[in-house]
Amino acid sequence: MGSRKTPHRRPGPSRRANQGPGEPFQGPAGSQRRDRDGALWLYGRHAATAAAANPDRVIRRLVALASLAPELAEAVAASGVPRPDMQIAERDALDSLLPAGAVHQGVAVLAEPLPAAHLDDVLATAGDEATLVVLDQATDPRNVGAVLRTAAGFGALAVVLQDRHAPAATGVLAKAASGGLERVPLVRVVNLARAMRRAQESGFWCIGLDASAPDTLAEADPEGRICLVLGAEGAGLRRLTRETCDRLARIPIAGVESLNVSAAAAIALYEVARGRR
The DSSP result for 52-112, as a single string, is HH-TTS-EEEEEE-TTTHHHHHHHHHHH-S--PPEEE--HHHHHHHS-TT---TTEEEEEP
The structural domains of the chain, with segments of one domain joined by +, span 29-111, 119-276
**pLDDT for residue 255:** 65
Nearest CA-CA partner of 228 in 274, 176, 268: 268
Please give the model's pTM, rounded to 2 decimal places.
0.84
Closest among 193, 205, 183, 181 to 132, alpha carbons compared: 205
CATH topology of domain 119-276: Alpha/beta knot (3.40.1280)
Q: What pLDDT was estimated at residue 232? A: 81
- Looking at 1-15, 26-40, 158-172, 252-266, which range is the least confident one? 1-15
Architecture of domain 29-111: 2-Layer Sandwich (3.30)
Cα radius of gyration rounded to whole Å, the chain:
21
Specify the DSSP element, H or E, that contains 136.
strand 131-136
- pLDDT tens digits for 129-172? 999 999 998 899 999 999 999 999 999 999 999 998 789 999 99
